[in-house]
């Protein structure tokens, strides 16, 4: 379990950094609003997240791609809905700069992603 948590953290950090970088690029370089740019950040970070979790975090679960990919996409979409809602609330009701608000949200959603990934998305079904 310790090794799994280490890989989860590393993969999550890589995906979160990717997410944040894409959002920054789309807002600062592309002129998008932070909430709109967040969608682009999510989609790019999903690729990093799925690959890392499939090959590193949950490699020992042996669920086939045909099962784990759509399930993890659902987990990621649920996480993103939480992400977008919390992000919108922080932007509307706090003075936090959008990058700081996004970092807080990404950390909060990580626990949900781990539990659902381990227990459902990557779990091999009989």
pLDDT digits (tens, 9 = 90+) for 95-119: 999 999 988 998 888 888 888 998 8
CA distance 105 to 124: 29
Question: pTM above 0.85?
Answer: no
Provide CB contacts within 8 A for 13, sequence distance 6+: none
Per-residue model confidence (pLDDT) at position 108: 85
Look at the alpha carbons of 81, 9, 26, 96 in this order and tell me if their dihedral is positive or negative.
positive
Token pair of 29 as six digits: 């370089």
Token pair of 103 as six digits: 């970092």
């Amino acid at each position: 379990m310790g090794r799994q948590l280490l890989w989860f953290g590393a993969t999550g950090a890589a995906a979160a950094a990717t997410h944040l970088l894409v959002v920054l690029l789309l807002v600062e370089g592309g002129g998008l609003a932070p909430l709109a740019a967040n969608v682009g950040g999510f989609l790019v970070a999903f690729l990093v997240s799925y690959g890392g979790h499939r090959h590193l975090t949950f490699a020992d679960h042996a669920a086939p791609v045909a099962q784990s990919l759509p399930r993890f996409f659902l987990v990621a979409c649920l996480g993103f809905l939480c992400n977008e809602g919390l992000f919108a609330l922080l932007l509307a009701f706090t003075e936090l700069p959008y990058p700081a608000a996004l970092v807080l949200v990404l950390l909060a959603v990580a626990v949900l992603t781990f539990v659902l990934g381990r227990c459902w998305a990557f779990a091999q079904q009989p």
